[in-house]
Amino acid sequence: MAHDRGAQMKVRIAVSPGTGSVDPGDLAPFLDGLEANGFDTVWLSDVPMAGTVDPFLGLAFAAARTTRLKLGANIVPFGVSPYVLAKDLAQLDRLTAGRLLISLVPGLDQPGEREALMIGGRHRGRDLDLLIPMLRQWWAGEAVDHRSAWFECTELRLPVQPVQQPLEIWLGGSGPAALERAGRLADGWLGANVTPHEAGIAVRRIHEEAGRAGRAIDPEHVGLSIPYARTAPDEEILRRLASRRPDRQLEDIVPVGRGDLRRLLTALIDHGVSKFVLRPLAAEIDWPDELAWLADAALPLQT
């Protein structure tokens, strides 16, 4: 059942460059356009086996380039020790003057990814269960004493803490285990590849799981990553998208054109989602033109 929540919620629009170039000649106008048009956040994704912008490097570049824009990223928390990850994120929050937003993601399990990240056959969800309490302790200035197959330390402290206290941790995923983990451990949820109705079900499940764990999650800390296109994408892109949700029509998940994008965002807001990461599907993008179009299509909904 949909809920009329738009008037009460703070709707925020982020934009991701997707598989965009790491060339500063491309990244700079993208960032400048986001800030000039009034978008809330730039969002970068950690894709270990692709040539996308590394979030740590890209957000440091963005912090130096912008003054207002929030700086968000999906971070794959493997390939380094939990201590190094905690330290790097704390320092990144300081370098960005407390503008950092993070969502921890397990990766895509692409060929070679497990070897590259040195995780072998480990269960990444269970590793997240171990990691998140350690990150919270370190960022609060506490010592961590931990023993597991993944990591061992004795009374280890960080030499630096993040500006934000707390530095929030969001999680994604739409399966039962992922939603349970989000309710039990996270500060928010950033989902993907779900319809408005499915998003509403996920929101309720997360809050139920948080209640079972004796905690509460801010009802505004619910977001969705949305791939979109201004005109019909090519067949190869459509095939890849369809393979992720063969049980659904793509128009329920991937809007094409200004009207479809506005309708999908409005439906998601009615189902309790208020934070959006919009990701263009086009391979070649003229960012000033793209962001002007996107501002006209989506920013009227930002509150």
**Do the Cβ atoms of 265 and 303 come closer than 8 Å?**
no
Q: Is residue 6 part of a domain?
A: no
The helix (H) or strand (E) run that includes residue 261 is: helix 258-270
What pLDDT is stored for residue 192 in this prediction? Answer: 94
List the CATH number of the domain containing 249.
3.20.20.30
Q: Is residue 7 part of a domain?
A: no
What pLDDT is stored for residue 1 in this prediction? Answer: 38
Three-state secondary-structure class, residue 78: coil
At 5, is the pLDDT very low, low, confident or very high (cuts 50, 70, 90)? Answer: very low
Q: What is the pLDDT of residues 127-182, one digit of tens each?
A: 999 999 999 999 999 999 999 988 999 999 999 999 999 999 999 999 999 999 99
Whole-Å CA distances, 48 to 40, 126, 160, 241: 26, 20, 26, 20
d(CA 98, CA 255): 33
Identify the CA nearest to 265 among candidates 195, 207, 201, 209. Answer: 195
Q: Is residue 5 part of a domain?
A: no
* Cβ neighbours, 10 Å, residue 294: 23
Q: Is the peptide bond before 48 cis (omega within 30 degrees of 0)?
A: no
Q: Are strands 144-147 and 152-156 parallel, antiparallel or unpaired?
A: antiparallel
Q: Is residue 29 part of a domain?
A: yes
d(CA 45, CA 159): 27
Identify the CA nearest to 227 among candidates 197, 199, 194, 200. Answer: 194
Q: Is residue 137 part of a domain?
A: yes
Q: Is residue 296 part of a domain?
A: yes
Q: Are strands 70-75 and 170-171 parallel, antiparallel or unpaired?
A: unpaired
Find residue 42's DSSP bridge partners: 15, 71
**Segment 103-132 mean pLDDT:** 91
Q: Is residue 4 part of a domain?
A: no
What pLDDT is stored for residue 66 in this prediction? Answer: 97
DSSP assignment of 6-21, as one string?
TTTS--EEEE--TT--
The number of domains in the chain is: 1
Find residue 12's DSSP bridge partners: 275
**Do the Cβ atoms of 86 and 139 come closer than 8 Å?**
yes
pTM metric for this prediction: 0.92
Q: Is residue 1 part of a domain?
A: no
d(CA 276, CA 302): 10
Q: Is the pLDDT of residue 271 over 90?
A: yes
Range of the domain at 87: 12-301
Q: Who contacts 2 (Cβ-Cβ below 8 Å, separation ≥6)?
A: 196, 200, 267, 270, 271
Identify the CA nearest to 125 among candidates 177, 186, 75, 57. Answer: 177
Q: What is the pLDDT of residues 179-214, one digit of tens each?
A: 999 999 999 999 999 999 999 999 999 999 999 999
